Chain A
Amino acid sequence: MRADTVVTGMGVVAPTGLGHAEHWAGTLRGASAIGPVTRFDAGRYPSRLAGEVASFVPEDHLPSRLLPQTDHMTRMALVASDWALADAGVDPGRLPEYGVGVVTAASAGGFEFGHRELQNLWRHGPQHVSAYQSFAWFYAVNTGQISIRHGLRGPAGALVTDQAGGLDALGQARRQLRRGQPMVLAGAVDGSPCPWGWVAHVSTGRMSEEPDPARAYRPFDTEAGGYVPGEGGALLVLESEEAARARGAARRYGRLAGYAATFDPPPGSGRPPNLLRAARAALDDADLRPGEVDVVFADAAGTPEEDAIEAEALRTLFGPRGVPVTAPKTMTGRLSAGGPALDVATALLALREGVIPPTVNIARPLPEHTLDLVTAPRRTPLATALILARGHGGFNSALVVTGPRRPGRATTPQRQESKPS
């Protein structure tokens, strides 16, 4: 019997709010944070909207020492790490030196920082490049900076699988816990709102060019026309149940009950994409049947082709309109690796509160998708959520969380009978 992985703290920095309370309140209100790009002049690009964390002022949260050496998304990640540890009631200085690991995911690293320094290099010469460029733009920079800031010297890692990384980081953290690590801080805070990062998004050909924020990112809609990028994410404190109990952890948001990742076959192979297999494998890993899932947080890619693949996977797994499906990321845009990590935090809050947060701006869901798409907050008992994520280039990941009301299958057999599947 494997030990349970429980979530005992979360730190959220999202376009929808600073801290999980503000994020949750904004999400329930359906308050979309998508708007014109302000962090650089996007006027000459075909896509000009983003989900920015407008209220984040780094100087309010971080010592000045960290500012010259950090990209914007690293600053947000550091603050999320502060909040996650505080939320878990953890004082890292009082934990064993190697007791806490750090695993984050990144899609681009500190792209804005890198952009600026490469500009210095080619415009002014090598003498003008910051010494901090030596690490500030790396994929692994958030893991490193978080580890240094809090003195966390347990197993560390950085995963790069685009969006899917937000779930893969949590899956990797669970592996460390199963190897005996008592605690891991894991998740992703991401985003690269600079011309260089923007061009990377544009090159996917999947970005929305719609100028109206209310119409730009509408996954599963008849007018789905691409995605809007954003910044932010979430970090979670994960512990083995045993370690959480031993230190007297105050709360459990829930349990990371299942996880799986797959990769798509190459284009033109004729074989189907593997999102469905990831979802199935995550449920198998959680020892749950599809009928036991109360809500799905969709990847919600926002292009007709990718939406159809996800809708078909959900139909195959759950039947037509077989499970409530939501995409609160319609309020934030797609936060690269940060998005799915934020989805996991949102899902845990949904389980705790018994409310499915809405998908916004969907005027006419495509009927062929046969999805039970939740477009207004829906109050209902929730015990289990499935979160899906896809990364550019073929990554698929799925993660299952169960709420505090479902401490483990063995202890709540009555649930199985109360809900037909």
Chain B
Amino acid sequence: MNQLTTDRLMEIIRDCAGEGDPIEAAGGRPEDLDFAALGYDSLALLETLGRLEREFGVAIQEDEFARATTPAQLTTLVNRLLAAVS
């Protein structure tokens, strides 16, 4: 089954919205940081949302999407939707 990894997600975001802000060494794993802390604004995420829906063939509800504020959470959300359609 097609699955999203956080690495792949970060690749997609970079493709949609460019490089994020440099991350402080003490800031923990990037996938657990808020998108805002990574330097991605709401439009960057909207662009990413469109790409995820096209690439993975899922429909992501806006309120669910808004609650996923880190790459790890968004990855989990997409994979849950993928599991539901398969």
A interface residues with partner B (beta carbon < 8 Å): 63-69, 127-132, 134
Query: Are A127's CB and B17's CB within 8 A?
Result: no
Contact of B19 among A65, A130, A132 (CB under 8 A): A65
Contact of B47 among A64, A66, A68 (CB under 8 A): A68
Q: Which residues of A contact B47 (CB under 8 A)?
A: 68, 130-132
* CB proximity of A145 to chain B, nearest CB, Å: 12
Query: Are B43's CB and A69's CB within 8 A?
Result: yes
* CB proximity of B78 to chain A, nearest CB, Å: 15
Query: Are B43's CB and A127's CB within 8 A?
Result: no
Query: Are A132's CB and B53's CB within 8 A?
Result: no
Query: Are B16's CB and A68's CB within 8 A?
Result: yes
Q: Which residues of B contact A131 (CB under 8 A)?
A: 43, 46-47, 49-50
Q: Which residues of B contact A63 (CB under 8 A)?
A: 18-19
Question: What 4 pairs across the A-B complex have the smallest Cβ distances?
Answer: A65-B18, A64-B18, A131-B46, A131-B47
Q: Is B67 an interface residue (CB 8 A)?
A: no
Query: Are B18's CB and A66's CB within 8 A?
Result: yes
- Please, how many angstroms separate the alpha-carbon atoms of A355 and B36 in the complex? 52
- Please, how many angstroms separate the alpha-carbon atoms of A128 and B55 in the complex? 11
Residues 14-58 of B, flagged 1 when their CB comes within 8 A of A and 0 if not, give: 111111100000000000000000010001101101100110000
- Please, how many angstroms separate the alpha-carbon atoms of A64 and B20 in the complex? 9
- Please, how many angstroms separate the alpha-carbon atoms of A142 and B16 in the complex? 20
Q: Majority SS of interface residues in chain B? A: helix
Chain B residues within 8 Å of chain A by Cβ, number:
16
Q: Which residues of B contact A128 (CB under 8 A)?
A: 50, 54
- Please, how many angstroms separate the alpha-carbon atoms of A63 and B16 in the complex? 13
Query: Are A65's CB and B39's CB within 8 A?
Result: yes
* CB proximity of A66 to chain B, nearest CB, Å: 7
**Which of B19, B43, B54: most chain A CB closer than 10 A?**
B43
Q: Which residues of B contact A127 (CB under 8 A)?
A: 50, 53-54
- Residues of B44-77 whose CB lies within 8 A of A: 44, 46-47, 49-50, 53-54
Query: Are B53's CB and A68's CB within 8 A?
Result: no
- Please, how many angstroms separate the alpha-carbon atoms of A134 and B47 in the complex? 11
* CB proximity of B58 to chain A, nearest CB, Å: 12
Give 19 new A-B contacts, CB below 8 A, not counting A65-B19, A128-B50: A63-B18, A64-B14, A65-B18, A65-B20, A65-B39, A65-B44, A67-B18, A68-B16, A68-B17, A68-B18, A69-B43, A127-B50, A127-B53, A127-B54, A129-B50, A130-B47, A131-B43, A131-B47, A131-B49
- Please, how many angstroms separate the alpha-carbon atoms of A67 and B43 in the complex? 14
- Please, how many angstroms separate the alpha-carbon atoms of A129 and B47 in the complex? 9
B interface residues with partner A (beta carbon < 8 Å): 14-20, 39, 43-44, 46-47, 49-50, 53-54
Q: Which residues of A contact B17 (CB under 8 A)?
A: 65, 68-69
**Which of B17, B39, B44: most chain A CB closer than 10 A?**
B17
* CB proximity of A151 to chain B, nearest CB, Å: 15
- Please, how many angstroms separate the alpha-carbon atoms of A65 and B15 in the complex? 9
- For residue B45, which residue of chain A has the nearest CB? A131
- For residue B42, which residue of chain A has the nearest CB? A131
Q: Which residues of A contact B53 (CB under 8 A)?
A: 127
- Please, how many angstroms separate the alpha-carbon atoms of A63 and B17 in the complex? 10
Q: Which residues of B contact A68 (CB under 8 A)?
A: 15-18, 47
Contact of A132 among B39, B43, B49 (CB under 8 A): B43
- Please, how many angstroms separate the alpha-carbon atoms of A66 and B43 in the complex? 12
* CB proximity of B39 to chain A, nearest CB, Å: 7
- Please, how many angstroms separate the alpha-carbon atoms of A67 and B47 in the complex? 13
- Please, how many angstroms separate the alpha-carbon atoms of A134 and B41 in the complex? 14
- Please, how many angstroms separate the alpha-carbon atoms of A130 and B15 in the complex? 12
- Please, how many angstroms separate the alpha-carbon atoms of A289 and B35 in the complex? 60
- For residue B39, which residue of chain A has the nearest CB? A65
- Please, how many angstroms separate the alpha-carbon atoms of A63 and B39 in the complex? 12
* CB proximity of A68 to chain B, nearest CB, Å: 6
Q: Which residues of A contact B14 (CB under 8 A)?
A: 64
29 A-B residue pairs with CB within 8 Å: A63-B18, A63-B19, A64-B14, A64-B19, A65-B17, A65-B18, A65-B19, A65-B44, A66-B18, A67-B18, A68-B16, A68-B17, A68-B47, A69-B17, A69-B43, A127-B50, A127-B53, A127-B54, A128-B54, A129-B50, A130-B47, A130-B50, A131-B43, A131-B47, A131-B49, A131-B50, A132-B43, A132-B47, A134-B43
- Please, how many angstroms separate the alpha-carbon atoms of A54 and B19 in the complex? 26
**Which of A63, A65, A67: most chain B CB closer than 10 A?**
A65
- Please, how many angstroms separate the alpha-carbon atoms of A128 and B17 in the complex? 15
Q: Which residues of B contact A69 (CB under 8 A)?
A: 17, 43
* CB proximity of B12 to chain A, nearest CB, Å: 12
Q: Which residues of A contact B43 (CB under 8 A)?
A: 69, 131-132, 134
